[in-house]
Structure 1
Amino acid sequence: MSKTVEFFFDLGSPTAYLAYTQLPRICAETGSQLTYQPMLLGGIFKTTGNASPISIPAKGRYMLHDLARFARRYEVELEFNPHFPINTLLLMRAVTGVQMHLPERFVEFIDCLFRALWVEQRNLNDAVVITQVLERAGFDPQQVLDLSNDEEVKARLKDNTDLALKRGVFGAPSMFVGDELFFGQDRLDFVREALERH
C-alpha cells in the first residue's frame, strides 16, 4: 500500500495555505501521495465548539507574528488578508466541484484561490473580485458558479466535513497519515516522520 497524506483544508485558513505550500515537496521527498480533502471549516468550528485563534486578541496578535515566521522559514509569500474571516461556503463548494468534475485543473484552481487570499489579499466574498481572479487564471466563472450550486457537489462537501468530524478533526489544516491525525502547519515535521516510518 502506498504512503498517503490526507490533507483536510479550507481556503479561509492561512495555516492551511502554509501547509499547502509545503506538503507536495514533503510527499515528493518521501515517495508519498497527497490526497486533498476539502471541508467546511465553519461547520467544523460549529460542531466542535472551536474558533479561530484570531477571536482571542492576544492569541491573534501572536498568530500573525508566527505566520510570518513560518512563511520566512518556508520561503513563501504570505500577506494576512484584511477581509478575514472569510465566508468560504461558496468557495469550498467550488473547490469540491472542480475536484469532482475538472480534476486535471484542481491544483491549479486551489493555487489561484489560495494566492488570491493569502498573497494578494483579495476579497473573495465579492463576486466581482472572484470573477476577476478566475478569469485571470483561465477559468470560466459561470462554470465554477454552476459547480458550486450543484446538489451533488454540495452533498460531497458536507460528506467530507462529516468525515473529518468523525475522524476527530477540529480545525485546519488537519493531516492524516494512516489513522494518525496531525493538526496545524507547524506539525509538518511529524507528518514527514510518520511518512518515513511507513
Structure 2
Amino acid sequence: MKRVDFHYDFVCPYAYLAHVQIEAVCARAGAQLAWKPFLLGGVFRAVGAPDAPVMSPQKARLNALDMMRWADHLGVPLRMPEGHPRRTVLALRAAIASGDLVRASKALFSAYWAEGRDVSQPEVVREALDGAGLEGEAIVRRAEDADVKSELFRLTDEAVAAGVFGAPAFVVHAPGVEGELFWGQDRLVLVEEALAGRLGSVGLT
C-alpha cells in the first residue's frame, strides 16, 4: 500500500499550508497518510542548523508575501501570529495525547495560523481542542504525561532518521520511490507525481 508520512510542526506556516492539501493528494493517489508531529527545533539541533534562517530584508518581505499568495491561491486564511514564532511543544504533545491526531492537529494549525493565537498557552490549546469536539482540559493534562513526551521525542528522532531537516516534509513509500523525501508544501505536486509512478525517469531510486 502506498503511504505518505507527513512530518510537521505547528510553528511552520508552510506546514499549515501543506496540511490543507495533503489529504486530497493522498486520496487522489490511493495512498495512506500518516500524520507525524515533531519538534522542529529538535531537528534543527540534530542537523546543526540555526533555529531561524537569516534573511535579507528583501527576502524576508518576499517570503511573507509568498506565504500570503499561497494562502490566497488555496483559499485559506493565514494570519501571522503576534510574537511568532511561539513555542509549540505543548500543542504537539496535546495533539499526540488527544487520541485523534488528525482532528487535534487541524484544530491547532487553525488556532495558530487562521486565528493567530498563541498555542504555547494551555487555555488556547484547550479551547482549540474543545472547539474540535475533543476533551480539551483532559488532553492538556495528559500532555504532561511521560509517555506522551517520549512519543514526541520518538517522532522527532524518526524524522531525523528519515533525513528530515525542516518542515513540512513528506516521506513517500511507493514503488520506485520507497523512503524518498520531499520538503516544502510547494513540492506536493512532486509527491503526487511520485505516488503515481511518474518520477522514475529523473533517476530516483
Task: Give the TM-score normalised by structure 1.
Answer: 0.89
Q: Matches of 1:33 and 1:147 in 2, distance apart?
A: 28
1:42 lines up with 2:50 in the alignment? no
Query: Which residue number in structure 1 is paired with residue 9 of structure 2?
Result: 10
- With a CA cutoff of 8 Å and minimum separation of 6, indicate the structure with the bigger relative contact order: 1
5+ long unaligned stretches in structure 1: none
Superposed CA offset, 1:79-105 (max 9, x none): 22223101111111111222xxx2xx3
5+ long unaligned stretches in structure 2: 174-178, 199-205
Superposition pairs of residues 95-134 of structure 1, within 5 angstroms:
95-98=95-98, 102=99, 105-134=100-129
- The secondary structure found in structure 1 opposite 2:65 is helix
Q: What is the root-mean-square deviation in Å for CA atoms of aligned residues? A: 1.8
Task: Give the TM-score normalised by structure 2.
Answer: 0.86
Query: Which residue number in structure 2 is paired with residue 149 of structure 1?
Result: 144
1:141 maps to amino acid: G
Check conservation: 1:50, 1:171, Cα contact below 8 A.
no
1:159 maps to amino acid: R
Superposed CA offset, 1:19-52 (max 9, x none): 1000001111111111111111110112223246
Superposed CA offset, 1:105-129 (max 9, x none): 3322111111111111111222333
- The secondary structure found in structure 2 opposite 1:197 is coil
- The secondary structure found in structure 1 opposite 2:78 is coil
1:60 lines up with 2:60 in the alignment? yes
Relative to structure 2, which stretch is displaced further, 105-114 or 133-142? 133-142
Alpha-carbon spacing, 1:52–1:22, altered in 2? closer, same or farther (3 Å): farther
Q: Matches of 1:136 and 1:28 in 2, distance apart?
A: 26
